[in-house]
Structure 1
Amino acid sequence: MAVYVYTIVARTHPQRLDGLAGVGDPPTELRTVHAETLSAIVSDAPEGLRPKRRDLGAHQVVQERLMADGTVLPLQFGFTTTDDDAVRTVLEQRAEHLLERIQALEGCAEYNLKAAQDETALLRRILRESEEARRLNDEIRSGRGSPELPLALGELVAQEVRERENRAAEEIVESLRGFAREQRASQPRGDDFLNVSFLVDREEEKAFLAAEQDLAEELGSEYELRLRGPLAAYSFVQEAPWDS
């Protein structure tokens, strides 16, 4: 049967799994695969596994339990391989690289920050601050403008939105960068203009959280900052251990 891999830890990690269950319905039983310096937490891989809430939760709970006792190298939900021997081979062949990443993540947790801006307030500010946008808008409202003016205004506003959101994203990241070992940006989705993860040392967590709160207050109600964490450091694994 195929093997589902949850996370990789140093062999010296306590690896407390009591009371935990794996993904699947019924839940699979967790076990460890050991190599000389590393261990992987695995279970049998259920057939037809999908990212349902229960299974996503089970995957995350394994990470959280192990994070409480030491550093983990988390794999994304849904990773499977052929058998325990395949897992052990990777642990042995890539031991140096995996131990380096575990060391880089030691004592840290991931915090993910997403940011959005009130669209109506942003458009009002653009019309207030951009002379060209204001001129085009006034001509359109007067009814005397050409049919091309709405398109020209739309293009101008879209460009202004991109530039302002890019500046805001850079300023937000710069405000928090000093409290993190690393940061990784991901593609924003929906109304968000920022999706960034910070690798924060446990000793810096209080300062990081306070800085994020101060930033949210400084930006005001026109901005929505959504911070999640502490999380397993998925964004900082760099590559799946099974990649070449």
Structure 2
Amino acid sequence: MSVYVYAITKADHPLDLEDVTGVGEEPAELHTVSNGGLRAVISESPEDLSVARRDLEAHHEVQEQLWADGAILPLSFGFVAPDEDTVRALLEERAEAFSQRLDELTGCAEFNIKGVHDEDTLLRAVLADSERARELNESIREGGGSYEDRLALGELVAGEVQTRQSALAEEVLTALRPFALAEKVSPPSQQYFVSVSFLVEDERSEEFTRAGGELAARLGEGVELRLRGPLPPYSFV
């Protein structure tokens, strides 16, 4: 019987799971598999497992409930093992590494920061600061300008946008790094100019949150910083 694995904990974790259920339309009972000083929280794997809101929420609710009472190694959604013996073997094989990582994550939480730059505000700033961009833009707006002018304007604006967003991303990282133990930075995307997870000690959580709020206010018009946390350390397992 295949089993769904939610997280790995040490044997002394309280494992309070009374108020949560596992994945699946009719979730099986949550229980544990033990080996030495480690335990894995599992349930019978449902046949109808899907990347749907119901199952994603159940997965994270189990992990957050566990994390509230002690350090865990949260597994990614959809981790299914062939059977309980396979899970026991994994706990034995990786016992030292799992135990060490649990020690390192004890008393820590993850915070996610995502930065969004309003496109219109950004474009206005580029035009305000670049005489060449203004000249090209005016020419094109008045019905003139060649294909080469349009291409040049597009390249100029794209370069300026990338430069400004890279500088903003570095400002965010530089401001918040002093409050964190570690970071995981994702590549910038069309939606976010910065997307980063920080590992923060519990005793510095308020300080980190306050610094994030002050930074968001300082970055000014058109820039939004979205902060989520504290969360289980999903990015640092």
Q: What TM-score results when the alignment is normalised by the length of structure 2?
A: 0.96
Task: Give ranges in structure 1 of 5+ residues lacking alignment.
Answer: 238-244
Shift of 1:6: 0.1
5 Å-filtered alignment, 1:158-177, equals 158-177=158-177
CA distance in 2, matches of 1:6, 1:174: 34
CA distance in 2, matches of 1:214, 1:128: 26
Note if contact 2:24-2:48 (Cα within 8 Å) is conserved in structure 1.
Answer: no
Q: Which digits, 9 at most, give the CA deviation of each residue in 1:149-195, with x for residues without a partner?
A: 11110111111111111110111111011111111012344521111
Q: Which digits, 9 at most, give the CA deviation of each residue in 1:112-138, with x for residues without a partner?
A: 111111111100111111232123223
CA distance in 1, matches of 2:18, 2:191: 41
Task: Give ranges in structure 2 of 5+ residues lacking alignment.
Answer: none
Aligned partner of residue 25 in structure 2, secondary structure: coil
Partner in structure 2 of residue 81 of structure 1: 81
1:207 aligns with 2:231: no
5 Å-filtered alignment, 1:1-244, equals 1-237=1-237
Residues 145 and 190 from structure 1, CA distance in 2 versus in 1: closer, same or farther, beyond 3 angstroms?
closer
Off by >6 Å, runs of 4+ in structure 1: none
CA distance in 1, matches of 2:24, 2:148: 57
Aligned partner of residue 47 in structure 2, secondary structure: coil
* Greater shift in the superposed pair: 74-83 or 220-229: 220-229
* RMSD of aligned residue pairs (Cα, Å): 1.3
Q: Which digits, 9 at most, give the CA deviation of each residue in 1:27-51, with x for residues without a partner?
A: 2210100010111000011013112
Aligned residue-pair number: 237
Note if contact 2:28-2:44 (Cα within 8 Å) is conserved in structure 1.
Answer: yes
CA distance in 2, matches of 1:18, 1:138: 66
Q: Which digits, 9 at most, give the CA deviation of each residue in 1:84-122, with x for residues without a partner?
A: 110010100111111111112110111111111111110
CA distance in 2, matches of 1:40, 1:16: 13
* Greater shift in the superposed pair: 84-93 or 188-197: 188-197
Note if contact 2:8-2:40 (Cα within 8 Å) is conserved in structure 1.
Answer: yes
* Greater shift in the superposed pair: 164-173 or 11-20: 11-20
CA distance in 1, matches of 2:6, 2:143: 63
Matched letter for residue 183 of structure 1: E
CA distance in 2, matches of 1:164, 1:38: 47
CA distance in 1, matches of 2:8, 2:115: 31
